[in-house]
Amino acid sequence: MMRFLPILFVLLFSVKTSANSHEDFLQCLSHFSEVIYTPKNSSYSTILHSAIGNPRFNTRTVPKPLVIITPRNVSHIQTAITCSEKHGMQIRVRSGGHDYEGLSYLSWMLPFVVIDLFNLRTVTVDASDSTAWVEAGATIGEVYYGIAEKSRTLAFPAGLCPSVGVGGHFSGGGYGMTLRKHGLSLDHIVDAHLIDVNGRILDRNSMGEDLFWAIRGGGGNTFGVVIAWKLSLVQVPPSVTVFEVARNSLEQNVTRLVHRWQYAISKFPREFSFKVYIARANSSDQQGKTAIETKFSSMFLGEVDKLLPMMQKTFPELGLMREDCIEMTWIESVLYFYGFPWNGSLDVLLNRTSRLPSFKGKSDYVKQPMPEIAWEGIWRRMNLVDVRRSQLQLTAYGGIMNEISESSTPFPHRAGTLFQIQYAVVCNGDDDLKASDQWHTNWIRKLYSYMAAYASKNPRGAYVNYRDLDLGVNNLHGTTSYRQASIWGKKYFGNNFDRLVRVKTEVDPTNFFRNEQSVPPYHQYLSNIEGRATYDS
Ligand SMILES: Cc1cc2nc3c(=O)[nH]c(=O)nc-3n(C[C@H](O)[C@H](O)[C@H](O)COP(=O)(O)OP(=O)(O)OC[C@H]3O[C@@H](n4cnc5c(N)ncnc54)[C@H](O)[C@@H]3O)c2cc1C
Ligand SMILES: *[C@@H]1O[C@H](CO)[C@@H](O)[C@H](O)[C@H]1NC(C)=O
Ligand SMILES: *[C@@H]1O[C@H](CO)[C@@H](O)[C@H](O)[C@H]1NC(C)=O
Ligand SMILES: *[C@@H]1O[C@H](CO)[C@@H](O)[C@H](O)[C@H]1NC(C)=O
Ligand SMILES: *[C@@H]1O[C@H](CO)[C@@H](O)[C@H](O)[C@H]1NC(C)=O
Ligand SMILES: *[C@@H]1O[C@H](CO)[C@@H](O)[C@H](O)[C@H]1NC(C)=O
Ligand SMILES: *[C@@H]1O[C@H](CO)[C@@H](O)[C@H](O)[C@H]1NC(C)=O
């Protein structure tokens, strides 16, 4: 009973005061009205829709922000934080908008404000000391472009999709086709500028090593607003080798191929990164069963003459041929893996628009090779006639990932991980409550429970950048307990979760920066209620 009284109190209180506080809040922001968009403004909807990575959250019924703020300088963000605190507004920070659950532009707890960082996206590369300062509204495509303007032998390890934002990406991990050689994006961040809950601008020195540790992997919208990252760039050879070969179950035994791939991973040199994409094919086999289509996709930091004998030795079953391979520069490989013509203009990297269908995603880490029968169970599930489009993406781990300790950053999935799985299924998109979407979401949940036997355990690991609210959510009205949050928190952060909670308790004890899956402080329940009462009275 005790537990529920204060919640009621807060609910009643916010209903009573909301109309006034909205006006007061807008008043508080009024001295930079040129970057404030309320729903009355004709640009509001264009700006809101400009970075909705998952159209599942682009429906009429999804709650919309009271205002969108598009800061042009840091003082706009500081004021936005102060005004939001004063008037009991929740903020959502958006960089590239690719959050799988839309948490950078939607909240079910009203009212909320979106701070969209797209005006703050300068990329400054210093090739002479192999570093770059990158503002938090930049996309990884803009980072790649900025590097390529200065050098063709410098690179940065990050994801494949150029429109992903550095704000979210580097706050959760960031990996791509150099994972086994260079690790994650966050392994190469050497400084950052952050605005904390008091509106102060901190750098690595003034924030201290605990907070600097936490913001590199502890998840976005939790410790403050990152305004810029300093990257340490990596060296790549002038020429890399790429290939993407398709294998269809009509012609090949893909079960055997994928099964063997698992055993080959630990033999690959770290210069070699490897993904396998798996989907249902359009065609069917002799028994009338829909075929399974795989794509083996790799990059080798070196020349084809070295790659071929290595493949012959480690994974001859694939039957890789010289004509499957292309030598190119690293920046061309970025275009290649995203499906652009690799010899075309780099300008495509500056396009911030992504066009994905509505989807639901999940992730797993696998530590032991899965038996053939397990893979066949997956094919059976992918073959269910009603699953319109589903995809599995396997990413080989190992290499340098085995050598970085679990606690060196909040990202814990290091030594002992054989590969990562991303599951994705396409939903309808018109209205997320439609029965068919429900069907697809249930389908992926069932696949996930089938996989429990083969995935990592105690806790079952997941990638925070493939955010999945099925793993558990906070109660945004202030009742999240440590125990409740640790259910999803230990999956994303393993043993690092406790240190994240300690840092959070120190830097944001009233839990101002929060969302459905942000690390909460200890005693969040009490402090939040007190905080609320103070603001409102
Ligand atoms: C098409 C697609 C391809 C992808 N490919 C890869 C890949 O190859 N490798 C990989 O590792 N991941 C990949 N991802 C996942 C991606 O890394 C995450 O979705 C990432 O969080 C997106 O960052 P964002 O800035 O675009 O997202 P946003 O939705 O803007 O932000 C994500 C979270 O971070 C918070 N946040 C954003 N900016 C800041 C800031 N400046 N300060 C504090 N908090 C902030 C947001 O509030 C939100 O909680 C992909 C995602 C998609 C949709
Ligand atoms: C930021 O913008 C505001 C006006 O919106 C201006 O008053 C202020 O001087 C600017 N600050 C900087 C550092 O440019
Ligand atoms: C919309 O907001 C922008 C930026 O604040 C402003 O320049 C513009 O005049 C506004 N338009 C309308 C119709 O209110
Ligand atoms: C694929 O190969 C495995 C042995 O590696 C065998 O058990 C299985 O029956 C084969 N499947 C097909 C369809 O040939
Ligand atoms: C499968 O069929 C769909 C619809 O007919 C088509 O759009 C798609 O390109 C096909 N995919 C492949 C790999 O052939
Ligand atoms: C890229 O390569 C293709 C195929 O080799 C060729 O047809 C095209 O002209 C090339 N484009 C450019 C911009 O060089
Ligand atoms: C940017 O990408 C989107 C989505 O793929 C595409 O529709 C649009 O035409 C592209 N814009 C430019 C200028 O190339």
Tens digit of each residue's pLDDT (9 = 90 or more) over 102-160: 999 999 888 999 999 999 999 999 999 999 999 999 999 999 999 999 999 999 999 99
Average pLDDT, the chain: 91
Task: Kindly tell me if the per-residue pLDDT of 531 is higher than 50.
Answer: no
Q: Ligand 1 center to residue 102 CA distance, Å?
A: 10
Point out the ligand nearest to the CA of residue 345: 6
Q: Ligand 3 center to residue 23 CA distance, Å?
A: 17
Angle of CA points 362, 363, 364, to nearest 5°: 145
- Percentage of residues in the chain having pLDDT higher than 90: 79
List, for residues 159-201, the tens digit of each pLDDT value: 999 999 999 999 999 999 999 999 999 999 999 999 999 999 9
Q: What residues does CATH 3.40.462.20 cover in the chain?
A: 240-323+357-453
List, for residues 334-375, the tens digit of each pLDDT value: 999 999 999 999 999 999 998 888 899 999 999 999 999 999
Are 384 and 256 contacting, i.e. CB atoms less than 8 angstroms apart? Answer: no
3 pLDDT band (50/70/90 cuts)?
Answer: very low
Q: Report the nearest-CA residue for atom 13 of ligand 6.
A: 344
Task: Kindly tell me if the per-residue pLDDT of 430 is higher than 70.
Answer: no
528 pLDDT band (50/70/90 cuts)?
Answer: very low
CB within 8 Å of 113: residues ≥ 6 apart: 65, 66, 67, 68, 69, 80, 84, 89, 90, 91, 92
Atom of ligand 6 at shortest range from CA of 344: 13
**Residues 392, 2: Cα–Cα separation, whole Å:** 46
Q: Is the CB of 73 within 6 Å of ligand 2?
A: yes
Q: Report the nearest-CA residue for atom 1 of ligand 2.
A: 73
Task: Kindly tell me if the per-residue pLDDT of 246 is higher than 60.
Answer: yes
Atom of ligand 3 at shortest range from CA of 40: 14
Set 423, 448, 454, 466: catalytic member: 466
What token pair was written down for 183? Answer: 């690790």
Q: Report the nearest-CA residue for atom 8 of ligand 6.
A: 343
The residue to mutate among 343, 346, 347, 348, having the most atoms of ligand 6 within 8 angstroms of its beta carbon, is: 343
294 pLDDT band (50/70/90 cuts)?
Answer: very high
Q: Is the CB of 96 within 6 Å of ligand 1?
A: yes
pLDDT at 7: 39
The residue to mutate among 43, 44, 69, having the most atoms of ligand 3 within 8 angstroms of its beta carbon, is: 43
Q: Is the CB of 161 within 6 Å of ligand 1?
A: yes
Atom of ligand 4 at shortest range from CA of 253: 1
pLDDT at 19: 66
Q: What residues does CATH 3.30.465.10 cover in the chain?
A: 123-235
534 pLDDT band (50/70/90 cuts)?
Answer: very low
pLDDT at 251: 84
Q: Is the CB of 289 within 6 Å of ligand 4?
A: no
Q: Within 6 Å (CB) of ligand 7, which residues are found?
A: 351, 353, 355
Q: Is the CB of 46 within 6 Å of ligand 6?
A: no
Task: Kindly tell me if the per-residue pLDDT of 60 is higher than 60.
Answer: yes
List, for residues 20-50, the tens digit of each pLDDT value: 778 999 999 988 899 999 999 999 999 999 9
DSSP letters, 483-519, are HHHHHHHHHHHGGGHHHHHHHHHHH-TT--S--TTSP
Residue 7, phi then psi, degrees to nearest 5: -65, -45
What token pair was written down for 349? Answer: 């990297």
List, for residues 83-104, the tens digit of each pLDDT value: 999 999 999 999 999 999 999 9
CB within 8 Å of 516: residues ≥ 6 apart: 101, 103, 108, 469, 473, 474, 476
Q: Ligand 4 center to residue 473 CA distance, Å?
A: 42
List, for residues 456-465, the tens digit of each pLDDT value: 999 999 999 9
Are 98 and 163 contacting, i.e. CB atoms less than 8 angstroms apart? Answer: yes
**Cα–Cα separations (whole angstroms), residue 410 to 22, 209, 216, 400, 515:** 37, 13, 7, 17, 18
What average pLDDT does this structure show over 372-388?
A: 87
Atom of ligand 6 at shortest range from CA of 343: 1
283 pLDDT band (50/70/90 cuts)?
Answer: confident
Name the fold adopted by 2-116: 3.30.43
Active site residue 466: yes
Q: Ligand 3 center to residue 41 CA distance, Å?
A: 6
Name the fold adopted by 240-323+357-453: Vanillyl-alcohol Oxidase; Chain A, domain 3 (3.40.462)
Point out the ligand nearest to the CA of residue 161: 1
Are 264 and 315 contacting, i.e. CB atoms less than 8 angstroms apart? Answer: yes
Mean pLDDT lowest among 167-176, 296-305, 430-439, 491-500: 430-439
Q: What residues does CATH 3.30.43.10 cover in the chain?
A: 2-116
Q: Is the CB of 344 within 6 Å of ligand 6?
A: yes
429 pLDDT band (50/70/90 cuts)?
Answer: low
Q: Is the CB of 343 within 6 Å of ligand 2?
A: no
What average pLDDT does this structure show over 441-464?
A: 96
Q: Ligand 1 center to residue 314 CA distance, Å?
A: 34
Of the candidates 14, 15, 100, 90, the one whose C-alpha atom is nearest the C-alpha of residue 476 is 90
Q: Within 6 Å (CB) of ligand 3, which residues are found?
A: 33-34, 36-37, 41-43
What average pLDDT does this structure show over 407-433?
A: 87
Q: What is the CA radius of gyration of the chain?
A: 23
Residue 299, phi then psi, degrees to nearest 5: -135, 135
| Pairing relationship of beta strands 225-232 and 189-195 according to DSSP bridges | antiparallel
Q: Ligand 5 center to residue 292 CA distance, Å?
A: 13
Q: Ligand 6 center to residue 329 CA distance, Å?
A: 15
**Residues 489, 521: Cα–Cα separation, whole Å:** 12
Q: Ligand 3 center to residue 43 CA distance, Å?
A: 7
pLDDT at 530: 39
pLDDT at 479: 65
Q: Write down the CATH number for the domain with range 123-235.
A: 3.30.465.10
